[in-house]
Amino acid sequence: MDLAAGEHQAKIRGCLECHGADLGGQVLALTPIGPMIPPNLTRGQGSVTAQYTDADWQRAIRHGVGPGGRPLILMPSDDNTSMSETDFAALVAYVQSIPPVDRVNQPTSLNLLGKILLGAGQLPMLTVERIDHTQQPKAVAVAATAEYGGYLAGICSGCHGANFAGGPAPGLPPDAPQAANLTPAGRATGWSTAEFATTLRTGKRPDGTQMQPQFMPWPAFSHMTDVEIEALQRYFQSLPPADKRT
């Protein structure tokens, strides 16, 4: 199994940003609706995955469902639903190869406000509910093509919308900047590939404004290869302009 390829997936998909560089879990944010604590994915003390079967990895990472059918909160599984079997197998092999870390974290949970909003249907926190579970794993050749960009853009659609028109991103606080419009109706398709790459890798736009990593997770994308970034840009340029998020 290609562990380096698996590590690359873990980086660009943000697993290491959220679950910690050692994958031992961490308190990521204290949100108004409760603490966000991505759990310990290693085999050490405090592990939530020690008893995982192959099917458990698939359900959690692609479908947002934990063992026993528990809907996962704030775990962006929608990014990975259509991940290729090759990338997925490499990712899981990499996660399983991580040295055990002993760290017992509190579980991610909703506080009273979170539960009230969830009950009122105002919280798109349970990824299982927004995933199209009929999506099949894709297999796309790695190249600077719009087709491969469309595959990678699964990482962006949770926040930027299924049609990439942007708008309020699920899981971000109400005072967070809205996710940008990445279709030709926005501005980024007009940037040069070098400008687009610098924006994704540093969070700094061509006009000099700096994006904050807690809103736009560019530190994860800083690990993307030139081919991945060019493929993404070609894909966004190929989209129909859209103003309204779907």
Chain positions contacting ligand HEC, by CB under 6 A:
10, 13-15, 18-19, 36, 38-39, 41, 48-49, 60-61, 66-67, 72-76, 80, 95, 107-108, 155-156, 158-160, 169, 176-177, 179-180, 182, 186-188, 199-200, 205, 211, 215-217, 221, 232
- Burial tier of 28 (Cβ tally within 10 Å: 0-12, 13-18, 19+): middle
Nearest approach, Cβ of residue 200 and ligand HEC (Å):
6
Beta-carbon contacts of residue 176 (< 8 Å; ≥ 6 apart): 168, 169, 215
Retrieve residue 152's tokens: 């990678």
Retrieve residue 177's tokens: 């900047």
Look-up of token digits 């969830």? 118
Question: 33 or 169: whose CB is closer to ligand HEC?
Answer: 169
Is the Cβ–Cβ distance between 34 and 109 less than 8 Å? yes
Question: 61 or 239: whose CB is closer to ligand HEC?
Answer: 61
Question: 41 or 242: whose CB is closer to ligand HEC?
Answer: 41
Nearest approach, Cβ of residue 39 and ligand HEC (Å):
5
Nearest approach, Cβ of residue 207 and ligand HEC (Å):
8
In angstroms, the CA 127 to CA 185 distance is: 27
Question: 73 or 239: whose CB is closer to ligand HEC?
Answer: 73
Question: 90 or 116: whose CB is closer to ligand HEC?
Answer: 90
Where on the phi/psi map is residue 162: left (φ > 0), alpha (ψ -120 to 50), or beta?
alpha
Nearest approach, Cβ of residue 114 and ligand HEC (Å):
12
Question: 122 or 187: whose CB is closer to ligand HEC?
Answer: 187
Nearest approach, Cβ of residue 121 and ligand HEC (Å):
18
Nearest approach, Cβ of residue 34 and ligand HEC (Å):
10
Retrieve residue 62's tokens: 């692609």
Which of 35, 2, 49, 28 has the alpha carbon at shortest distance from 213? Answer: 28
Nearest approach, Cβ of residue 141 and ligand HEC (Å):
19
CA distances from 190 to 10, 71, 99, 129, 199 (A): 29, 39, 44, 34, 13
